[in-house]
């Protein structure tokens, strides 16, 4: 049984058919990437998994449990955390307060404190800025905070949407190193990323989305070597 399994997912924005019968699997312990152009349906897929959008058909199974009719809060409690596109930190709250918000489903204060210490170990810059307002952080630091906040719920699966968007090349490399660290900590990752080259380099498996449907899938290494993928998504 896959950790996450989507079957025949169809999502609409009014009359617009955004996802057209997509099916995909994420195995436990993997990094799986969704790549594709803007508007292909990548963010919509993550928002549907996390309960922010609803599919008209099919099933979304996580650890054998059907999610299609669960609330977004219930889905977090089941072990899926969503780090959204655009970071969306709470600008007027401190770094520490933002991290505490990520633990809203948890009650044991000692365990929450241990998780926060672990995040500070992996993101030392957040520890240096723990009392700083999140809105005053750089783009890269805000991305670290968004990822750290998502990890505060101790998810089994992290949905990570465009973590490198808008960042300088040197920071992009740092963020991808952190994604690998998160994976090494034992968290399964479903990654949406426009930087297809970097995404495929750290992934086990990948899906190519094209106008709402999956046009290609396979082991990430094979897709990175595919002439079609190289020409369209990797700049030749």
CATH of the domain at 26: 3.40.50.300
Instruction: Give domain status of residue 215, yes or no.
Output: yes
Instruction: Give domain status of residue 162, yes or no.
Output: yes
Instruction: Give domain status of residue 118, yes or no.
Output: no
Tokens 């995909």 sit at which residue?
A: 24
Angle in degrees, CA 208, 214, 154, rounded to 5: 70
Within the chain, where are the H helices?
42-49, 72-78, 95-101, 109-122, 124-128, 139-151, 169-184, 196-202, 220-225, 227-233
Distance CA 53, CA 26 (A): 19
* Residues ≥6 apart with Cβ < 8 Å to 121: none
pLDDT, residue 235, reads 60
Distance CA 47, CA 82 (A): 8
Instruction: Give domain status of residue 68, yes or no.
Output: yes
Instruction: Give domain status of residue 136, yes or no.
Output: no
Instruction: Give domain status of residue 105, yes or no.
Output: no
The domain total for the chain is 1
pLDDT, residue 230, reads 84
Containing structural domain, residue 159: 4-86+155-233
Distance CA 83, CA 13 (A): 22
pLDDT, residue 200, reads 94
pLDDT in tens, the chain (236 residues): 799 999 999 999 999 999 999 999 999 999 999 998 888 999 999 999 999 999 999 999 999 999 999 999 999 999 999 988 877 888 899 999 999 998 988 888 888 889 999 889 888 889 999 999 999 998 888 988 998 999 998 899 999 999 888 888 888 888 888 888 889 888 999 999 888 889 999 999 999 999 999 999 999 999 998 888 888 777 64
Instruction: Give domain status of residue 97, yes or no.
Output: no
Instruction: Give domain status of residue 117, yes or no.
Output: no
**pTM score:** 0.89
Kindly give the pairing relationship between strand 80-83 and strand 157-161: parallel
């Amino acid at each position: 049984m896959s950790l996450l399994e989507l079957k025949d997912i169809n999502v609409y924005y009014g009359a617009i058919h955004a996802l057209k019968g997509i099916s995909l699997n994420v195995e436990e312990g993997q990094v799986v990437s969704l790549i594709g152009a803007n508007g292909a349906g990548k963010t919509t897929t993550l928002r549907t998994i996390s309960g922010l959008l609803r599919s008209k058909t099919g099933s979304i199974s996580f650890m054998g449990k059907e999610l299609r009719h669960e609330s977004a809060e219930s889905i977090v409690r089941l072990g899926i955390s969503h780090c959204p596109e655009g970071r969306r930190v709470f600008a007027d709250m401190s770094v520490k307060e933002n991290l505490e918000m990520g633990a809203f489903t948890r009650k044991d204060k000692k365990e929450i404190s241990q998780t926060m210490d672990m995040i500070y170990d992996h993101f030392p810059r957040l520890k240096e800025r723990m009392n700083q307002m999140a809105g005053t952080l750089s783009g890269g630091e805000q991305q670290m905070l968004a990822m750290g906040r998502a990890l505060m719920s101790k998810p089994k699966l992290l949905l990570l949407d465009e973590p490198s968007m808008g960042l300088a090349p040197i920071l992009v490399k740092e963020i991808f190193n952190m994604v690998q660290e998160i994976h090494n900590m034992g968290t399964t990752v479903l990654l949406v990323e426009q930087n297809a080259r970097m995404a495929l380099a750290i992934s086990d498996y990948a899906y190519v989305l094209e106008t709402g449907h999956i046009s290609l899938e396979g082991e990430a290494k094979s897709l990175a070597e595919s002439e079609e993928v190289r020409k369209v998504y990797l700049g030749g």
